[in-house]
Amino acid sequence: MKTCEKIVHASLELFNTKGERRITTNHIAAHLGISPGNLYYHFKNKEDIIRSIFSLYETHLHAGFQPYENKAVDVELLVGYFDTMFDILWRFRFMYTNLTYILSSDEALLQRYLQVQQLALDRSSNILGQLKRDGLLHIDDDKVMPLADTMRMVACFWIGYKQTHSSSIAITKTCLYEGLLRVIMIFKAHATPTSIATFNRLEEHYQTLAQPQSCQASELSVQL
């Protein structure tokens, strides 16, 4: 791996485990066994490293959330959607730990964040819209986007929220699954008699995963 990539990955790793605030550029260099000068040869500054991590984040988002327009929206698609969400939340959890903090110090990054989030919002709005059209979601037309947005908001801030509940820094996968269950709960409140069973299955699926012991199961394919 190139030094450049090594820096990005080591930074992500350190940020995720120790928190972005506590990690200085010197820490990163020391962790990799390279000199601070070398780090600054590859990156203009710390912000620049975070931007590179953000590029990685964008790549994951785009790869994970392919357009669904042509597919039918069924449980498997939703599970796929939530699994991708989980994966990204987990991989970049340091960002979600303190989104406001990280974005507030870099205007350019904020713009990129807004763009990528708009995309995600559009896609999830589309899915909700389709569910509504299929009679699977009971909701006013003008509330589709707000619902999608609320679900996104809960997903994005769940990690930060959980961190206001204990002094330990560690974020567990279990804690992330609890967040997904909350998103599903908001979602399910709009279920129709036709779709309630589907929502229940979705919920049960993540309830199983939210058990501490099933952390390792998160990569397994899902059989509903």
Partner DNA sequence: TATGAATGAGGTTTCATTCAT
Partner DNA sequence: CATGAATGAAACCTCATTCAT
Q: Which parts of this chain interact with its own copies (CB under 8 A)? A: 19, 21, 97-101, 103-104, 107, 110, 113-114, 117, 143, 146-147, 149-150, 153-154, 156-158, 160-161, 163-167, 169, 182, 185-186, 189-190
Q: Give backbone dihedrals phi and psi of 137, rounded to 5 degrees, phi first.
A: -135, 130
Q: Which region, judged by CB under 7 A, interacts with DNA, from 32-40, 83-91, 126-134, 169-177?
A: 32-40
Q: Which two tokens stand for residue 163?
A: 């961190």
Q: Which two tokens stand for residue 108?
A: 């350019």
The Cα angle at residue 198 between residues 75 and 200, in degrees rounded to 5? 120
Q: Which region, judged by CB under 7 A, interacts with DNA, from 25-33, 96-104, 161-169, 213-221?
A: 25-33
Give which of DNA, its own copies, none residue 130 binds (C-beta under 5 to 8 Å, depending on kind): none
Smallest separation (angstroms) from DNA to the CB of 212: 33
Nearer Cβ to its own copies, position 66 or 172? 172
Cα separation, 55 vs 41, whole angstroms: 19
Give which of its own copies, DNA, none residue 36 binds (C-beta under 5 to 8 Å, depending on kind): DNA
The string over 104-114, giving b where at least 16 C-beta atoms fall within 10 Å of a residue's C-beta and e elsewhere, is: eebeebeebbe
Nearer Cβ to DNA, position 52 or 198? 52
Q: Which two tokens stand for residue 11?
A: 């930074």
Half-sphere exposure at residue 92, Cβ-oriented, CA atoms within 13 angstroms:
25
Smallest separation (angstroms) from its own copies to the CB of 69: 26
106 near DNA, judged by CB under 7 A = no
Smallest separation (angstroms) from its own copies to the CB of 211: 16
> By rule CB under 7 A, what string of x and - marks binding of each residue 43-82 to DNA?
-xxxx-----------------------------------
Count CB neighbours of 195 within 10 A. 19
37 near DNA, judged by CB under 7 A = yes
105 near DNA, judged by CB under 7 A = no
Contact 49, 109 (CB under 8 A): no
Contact 90, 17 (CB under 8 A): no
Q: Give backbone dihedrals phi and psi of 170, rounded to 5 degrees, phi first.
A: -60, 135
- Of 9, 17, 19, 34, the one binding DNA by CB under 7 A: 34
User: Counting every residue, how long is the chain?
Assistant: 224
